[in-house]
Structures are given as C-alpha cells and as structure tokens.
A and B are shown apart, each in its own frame.
Chain A
Amino acid sequence: MIHPDTRLVTIDGVVGSGVIATRRIPRGTITWVLDDLDRTFNGAQMNALPASYDKLIDRWTFHDGRGWRVLCWDLGRYMNHSCDPNCGGSEFWFEVALRDIEAGEQLTNDYATLYMRPSEGFECRCGAPTCRGTASHTAPHAVARVSEQLLHALEEIGLVAQPLSGLLRPDWLERAQETLLLNLDQKVDTHVAAAE
C-alpha cells in the first residue's frame, strides 16, 4: 500500500500518470509496503500467464531481485522513474523516503533498482542533473547510491510519523538493514583493497 498522502495526477502526454505527495513526507517515512492485496508472481506463475500479458508485465510490475514479480493494486504501480529518486527499498518489500518530499513533488524510484528486463529500458526525461539519458536495466553506480541513501534514511524511521507502520513486518526492516550494512562493508573493503 502506498502512503495515504499521495494522489494520482497526469504528468504529460509522454510520461502519462504519476504519483505526487499531497503533503510533505519527511525522510525516513515508509512510502510503500507490499501488502496482502498486491500480487506476487514467481517464475512458474509468470510463465503460466498468456503471452498477451508480456506488455502488461513490463508496464505494471517490478522485480524484487529475489525471484518475485510484484503488481501493486493501488497507486504504487504508477510511480515513475527518476535518475535521482526520492524513494527506494522495493527489493526489501517496502520503500522509504530517501529525502524530504515536498507537497506536489512526484514520488519516484530509480527503475535500475527494480531489476528491469532489458526490454524495459527507455529514454529518460527526468530532468535530474544526474540524469543518465537512457534508463537501462543495469546502472550499478546508481543502485549503490540509492542503497547508501536508503541506509541513512532508515536511521530516521523511528523519528517520523508512519501511517503504514502497521503493514511493515519487523523482519523485513531487519533484513534491509543487515543487507545494506553488509553491502556497505563490502564496498569499504573493496576500497581499502584498491587503496593498498
């Protein structure tokens, strides 16, 4: 379920719809949690879908990097890409605001963190100073940056209002923190190794 202080709006003829904040959402706020009305499809379930569903899958679902395709029942599936996203964490089945999101601002993900299929790449017009021009399915530096921002945002999780906290399972949060810390340690180790 997406944060209640959001609304679907038409962005323009090219982008289509997007999700904006109707009030300020501070950093560390849970903006989305996988819930029991969202659909999850494993590989076998995906293969069982008729071929006519291929385009719908590209358009409306994301991959969690752990073998599951996720289809959000609510506005979550309208979140657009940005090369400088303000939300992240979908691979852990919940998202948090990576920085303060102002009223009227779009909620965005970096689609490179959503394990896109190669067929899902597109020309990006996000307008961020760090825009990569083409949103392709691999962007390791961008993904690492989101992970780092996410780790810091999670430190604020107990300090801000959390309308979605009832849906967040404690083990999901623990898993996210452990995984992100581990990744950071490995990165530090790599840097140290490179320096030596």
Chain B
Amino acid sequence: MIHPSSELRFISQAVGYGVFATEHIPRGTFLWVLDHFDRILTPAEVGGLQPMLRTVVDRYAYQAADGNFVFCWDFGRYMNHSCAPTSRGVGDAFEVAVRDIEPGEELTCEYGTLNLFEPMTCYCGAANCRGTIRRDDSKRHFKIWDKQASGAFELSHTVEQPLLPYARLGARDFPLVEAMQAGRAASVPSSRDFHIAEAPVELRVAAGHRAR
C-alpha cells in the first residue's frame, strides 16, 4: 500500500505514470508496505495468465526474494525507479524514506533489488545514475544501499507510520517491527539477500519488464 499523502500523476508518454507526494513526508516513514490486498503469484501462475493480464504483470509486478511475483493492488505499482530513490527496501514488506520528501516530489524506489528480467535503461537524471539497471546490481551496490536503509530505519519509531497497521509481515519483518516498536536499533537484512540469480525458466521469454 502506498503512503496516503501521495497521488498518481501522468508524467509523459515515455515514462507513463508516477507517484507524487502531496504533503511533507519525513525520513524514516514507510512510503510503501506489502499488504494483504496485494496479489502474490507463483512463477507458474504468472506463466498461466491470459496474454492481456501477462502484459500487465510483466510491466507492473516485481519478483520478491522468495521467487514469487508481487502485483500491488493500488498505485504503489506505478512507483518509478531512480538511482537516487526517495526510499529503500527494508525486509520483505517495507520501503522506508531515506530523506525528507517535499510536496510535489516524486516517490521513487530502486529497481535493482526487484529481480528485473531484462536490463533497463535509466533516464532518472540523478548525479549517480547507473545508466542501465540490472538484475544483479545489488551485488555491486549493496553497501551504500544498506547503509541508507539502516540509517533511515533507525528513525522509523520517531515518525508517524500510517501504513504500519496494513503491513503483511514476513519472517524477516517481525524482528524489524519489534525492534522499531521498542526503539531499539534493528539489524536490517542486506539488499544482497533479495537477489535471485536466475529468472524462472518458464518466464525468461518475457521482455520489457517494468520499463521506465
């Protein structure tokens, strides 16, 4: 579920839609949580979808660390990639804001942890833009990503968390939430651990996955 202080906006024909903040959102806020309305599909289920629906899933779903595909039911699926994103993934269920976000700013995330089928050309314009986003980017960039994620998550108990009541927590998320609620420092899993080496054989033909 995407943060309530956000809205969907059409950006351009090339980029499509994006999600934008409508109010100030402080660092440490969960911008998105995996929730109980999101659809989780096994690779076999994705392979069996009718072509009209397969196109939608190829563009808007991501592959989670357990190999299943997550298709967000709400505007969360329109979040674009940036090489300097507003949030980093923490555990299986959270995207945490790594800086303060001003009204009108686009909410962006890192597709390098979403197990892309195909390399994606990036036009985000950030000073550190990687140009091409690859399935295994976390192997090269995990240190800086993890540092940003941990630093932001440490603040999570100090800010309002409107999305927390809706989160669908996985095994790796429960200790994080316990630490957060106790105001303790949490050991945030490394983004490296969310990388799956190979795309499922039955799905490898799919192209244009989440093209920005």
Contact = CB atoms under 8 A, between A and B. Distances in A.
Nearest to B61: A37
Interface in A54-70: 56, 60
Contacts of A39: 37, 39, 73
B57 A56 contact: no
B39 A37 contact: yes
Interface stretch (A45-53, A132-140, A146-154, A171-179): A45-53
Interface residues of B, number: 14
A73 B36 contact: no
Contact of B36 (A53, A60, A167): A53
A107 interface: no
A52 B166 contact: yes
A112 B143 CA distance: 55
A142 interface: no
A53 B165 CA distance: 9
A21 interface: no
A71 B73 contact: yes
Interface in B39-71: 39, 45, 49-50, 52-53, 56-57, 71
B31 to A, nearest CB: 18
Given A71-B73, A73-B71, A73-B73, A166 B37 contact: no
A37 B53 contact: yes
A49 B165 CA distance: 11
Given A1-B52, A39-B37, A166-B50, A52 B73 contact: no
A6 to B, nearest CB: 15
A196 interface: no
Interface string A32-50: 0001110100000000011
Interface of B: 36-37, 39, 45, 49-50, 52-53, 56-57, 71, 73, 165-166
Interface of A: 1, 35-37, 39, 49-50, 52-53, 56, 60, 71, 73, 166-167
The 10 closest A-B pairs by CB, nearest first: A52-B165, A73-B73, A37-B53, A49-B36, A36-B49, A36-B53, A71-B37, A35-B53, A37-B39, A52-B166
